[in-house]
Amino acid sequence: MSREDVLVTTQWAEENLNTPGVVFAEVDEDTTAYDSGHIPGAVKIDWKTELQDPVRRDFVDKSGFEALLSDKGIANDDLVVLYGGNNNWFAAYAYWYFKLYGHSNVKLLDGGRKKWELDGRELSTDEVKRDRTNYTASEPDTSIRAFRDEVVDAIGTKNLVDVRSPDEFSGKLLAPAHLPQETAQRGGHIPTAVNVPWAKTANEDGTFKTAEELAELYREAGLDTGKSTIAYCRIGERSSHTWFALHELLGLEDVKNYDGSWTEYGSLVGVPIETGTGN
Amino acid sequence: MSADGCGAPVQTATPADIDTGGQVVVAGKVTGGDGPVGGAYVRLLNGDGDFAGEVQASPEGDFRFYAAPGSWTVRALHRTGNGEASVNAEGPGLHQVAISVA
């Protein structure tokens, strides 16, 4: 797989804003940015209210995904270009999620909203309304999603990649530094996990590093690319970003995202936790 | 900001007399030649230059981080230019830092 198969540049995006069969979608946890200005023609997907189940701790099921995409005017054969704030974390989550439900023709805008803004490209506040479609999703592909028992079993056998910041990994912080430290979970990381913060996979403008740079990064971190890999963070969106780097850009075959991540693992009774900088 | 989210919250000005509740708060404003610069991407980097967090400054240029004690570099990216500044946040409380971009 090459970079062009999974990423588009901001330049390509600007040139294809009106191309039939191409749908841009901005995905964020907080959609106020979209409301203040978005890529012209892009639809809005709210990570929290539209991609998460409102009651259970899980994401929406197959029928919910079908209803959502139909309502957004996205057809099965559309090329969906996802982008968002926070260096594409939530867009990467949505990408993983689109793949999980079988939408093969999906790409990320390299650099996301940040790169688009830093380029000084146009933002629009026009309301976007696309004609309703009749979207059909596949059964979820769990070969790319890890659950807790599998994660506990992976200790010492599979690669575990903790993509949080070093202070979260060591247990010094419970949340990223831009958030109040108000969570109740235990701090630390899953034993045997290596800490490769998601940010090391990206340039400061939000674009992904090259495949060569990524390969070097994970080689230095001691990742055995012959083994299966599970990535996790706090709630599963930063690890979607790393899942994208490992699975889509580096082409590693068996890579799963553990979207339960530290908010689940750090609250489980009886599982092993390691603090400090690890090995 | 609820604990179940992970994205950067909308930024606001930090009052100088803020009660940080025992947390290490690094906050300030991004300015340019003509005053405050809104919407810059502000990155918090640790003493080794490693990334720790990023927020988008408010329309008035304000940003705020909840950090661990230590020496930090705060770097701002904007379409009009970039800039950075250092701050030594030894302990809990408000540590103010100004960044000018050009």
Confidence of residue B52 (pLDDT cuts 50, 70, 90): confident
Contact B41, A114 (CB under 8 A): yes
The CA-based angle A194-A247-A218, given to 5 degrees, is 35
Instruction: Please indicate, yes or no, if residue A273 is contained in any of the structural domains.
Output: no
Contact A265, A195 (CB under 8 A): no
Alpha-carbon distances, residue A255 vs A11, A56, A88, A164, A250 (angstroms): 30, 25, 19, 17, 11
Select from B57, B62, B61, B69 the least CA-distant residue to B93: B69
The CATH number that applies at residue A188 is 3.40.250.10
pLDDT in tens, A37-47: 999 999 999 99
Q: What mean pLDDT value characterizes chain B?
A: 89
Report how far Cα A198 is from the mean position of its chain's Cα atoms.
10
Contact B76, B7 (CB under 8 A): no
- Please list the pLDDT of chain A residue by residue as tens digits (279 residues): 689 999 999 999 999 999 999 999 999 988 888 999 999 999 999 998 999 998 998 999 999 999 999 999 999 999 999 999 989 999 999 999 999 999 999 999 999 999 999 999 999 999 999 999 999 999 999 999 999 999 999 999 999 999 998 888 998 877 776 666 556 578 999 999 999 999 999 999 999 999 999 999 999 999 999 999 999 999 899 999 999 999 999 999 999 999 999 989 999 999 999 999 876
Residue B55: CA count within 13 A, CB half-sphere: 27
Give the 3-state secondary structure of residue A251.
coil
Instruction: Please indicate, yes or no, if residue B26 is contained in any of the structural domains.
Output: no
Last residue of a domain, one of A119, A140, A161: A140
Domain limits for position A106: 3-140
Does residue A35 sit in the same domain as residue A147? no
Locate the chain B residue with the closest alpha carbon to A178. Answer: B65
Does residue A21 sit in the same domain as residue A134? yes
Determine whether A213 is an active site residue.
Answer: no
Last residue of a domain, one of A102, A122, A140: A140
Last residue of a domain, one of A84, A119, A140: A140
The CATH number that applies at residue B95 is 2.60.40.1120
Does residue A121 sit in the same domain as residue A159? no
Locate the chain B residue with the closest alpha carbon to A181. Answer: B66
CA distance A49 to B25: 30
Which residues, including other chains, have CB under 8 Å from residue B59's CB and lie 6 or more apart?
B38, B39
H and E: helices and strands count for chain B = 0, 8
Query: Looking at residue B3, what is its pLDDT?
Result: 41
Instruction: Please indicate, yes or no, if residue B20 is contained in any of the structural domains.
Output: no
Task: Please give the model's pTM, rounded to 2 decimal places.
Answer: 0.93
Does residue A127 sit in the same domain as residue A12? yes
Domain limits for position B61: 34-100
Instruction: Please indicate, yes or no, if residue B47 is contained in any of the structural domains.
Output: yes
Span B72-79, mean pLDDT? 97
Contact residues on chain B for A205, CB-CB shorter than 8 A: 77
The kind and range of the H/E element at B33 are none
Instruction: Please indicate, yes or no, if residue B11 is contained in any of the structural domains.
Output: no
Rounded percentage of chain B residues whose pLDDT exceeds 70: 94
Tell me whether residues B6 and A237 touch, CB distance under 8 A. Answer: yes
CA distance A228 to A219: 15
Quote the number of domains for chain A: 2
Does residue A161 sit in the same domain as residue A228? yes
Task: Establish whether this prediction's ipTM goes over 0.90.
Answer: no
Q: Of A45, A233, A246, A250, which one is the catalytic site residue?
A: A233
Which residues, including other chains, have CB under 8 Å from residue A123's CB and lie 6 or more apart?
A36, A37, A38, A39, A40, A116, A117
Number of CB atoms found within 10 A of residue A153's CB? 11
Quote the number of domains for chain B: 1
